[in-house]
Amino acid sequence: MRIALEDGFAVEKGTGIGQYTLNLSRHLGAFPEIESIHLIEKPFLSKVPSAALRRILYIAWLNSKLQLLLRREKVDIVHFTNYLVPTLRFSNAKYVVTIYDLTAWRFPETLPPAYIAYIKGAVSHAVKAADLIFTLSDAVKREIIELFEIDSERIRTVYSGIAQSFWEAPKKRPSELRAIRDKYGISQDFLLFIGVIEKRKNVITLVKAFEILMDRMDLQLVLVGRPGYGFRKVEKYIRENHLRGKVILTGYVSEEEKLALYDSATLFVYPSLYEGFGIPLVEAMVRKVPIVASKIPSTEEVAGEAAIYYEDLLNHEALAERILELIKNDVLRQDLVEKGLKRACDFSWEKVSKRHLQAYRELLEVSK
């Protein structure tokens, strides 16, 4: 079996899709029945300074030079991990695509308006053109079947894994944890959020919930992640309500620092309005952090009984009450930690890569 993985520019950017692609490549390479696995590089496109021009050139490349590469290398399966699939097909390679969510349909108000039509067009084409579709949750699989009215046999749910370091890295010594806390101005117990600081993640509701909790206990809120669509509103709210120092925006952090922040956190809070999966939930479970999450299909599917949930997603008072409930209940926190470790075992890359391989194998068998 000869496999190619095409990630767009996700690996280069260090995004979640990039990590998914890299881990999939590394673990698939361990299976003897895979003769070769090719993570396609595009250094010439990476140098194009304009994002709009790069996107146009990239789509042209998908339908030209990529096709020649697939034919030359006699690739059996090309897996498009960034959801963009070529219009043309000049080889015998089967097209596989991963679709992470349907945000453009479900919550378009949380995306930049200029991107909505582009994303809808790309995902719609991918669903029609791919021989096999991967989703990271049954919740998204159901949405795709309902929206596009396609045969469920063309879709496989395969959960994502997380980096092996989350499983293997020991907890840092107190002095090392203190140094990282000092770097970001963390001096108290803190609530942790990790993810893009964007409208879809509902971070503003978390900040408002934290304001309520501030009046009841000594606590900080640490928001980890790069700015996204809606970040300015969060930043403005923090500034205008004099929350700087209590609410900490770290920006992007290294994996080492991320591990340390998980290991230091009192709770992990994930108030997202919509998710296709939610890798930070798994990371928190592995690092033994109790979770409060929004009650949406994907978070319940991923975290299961390893989290407590709040239902009224924009109600910051409801979120504050659930956080307070968990902070005050030592027994419940320990129970969630134990359930989280057990649940997280389903998200090892060893299991994830085996499920991908099985799906590839079935696709090639059907096509014989």
Q: Give residue 46's pLDDT.
A: 81
- Predicted confidence (pLDDT) per residue in 44-68, tens digit: 888 888 888 988 999 999 999 999 9
pTM equals: 0.92
CATH homologous superfamily for 2-161+348-366? Glycogen Phosphorylase B; (3.40.50.2000)
Scan for tokens 């109600």, then name that residue: 315
Query: How large is the angle between the packed helices 279-286 and 330-344, nearest 10 degrees?
Result: 110
Domains 2-161+348-366 and 164-346 in one fold:
yes
Architecture of the domain whose range is 164-346: 3-Layer(aba) Sandwich (3.40)
Q: Give the C-alpha separation, 157 to 86, whole Å.
A: 22
Please, which pLDDT band fits residue 368 given cuts at 50, 70 and 90? low
pLDDT in tens, 85-95: 999 999 999 99
Contact 9, 47 (CB under 8 A): no
Sign, CA dihedral 358-361-362-363, equals positive
* Domain residue spans of the chain: 2-161+348-366, 164-346
Please give the mean pLDDT across all residues of the chain. Answer: 94
pLDDT of the residue at 215: 87
The mean per-residue pLDDT over the stretch 16-36 comes to: 91
> pLDDT tens across 95-144, in order?
999 999 999 999 999 999 989 999 999 999 999 999 999 999 999 999 99
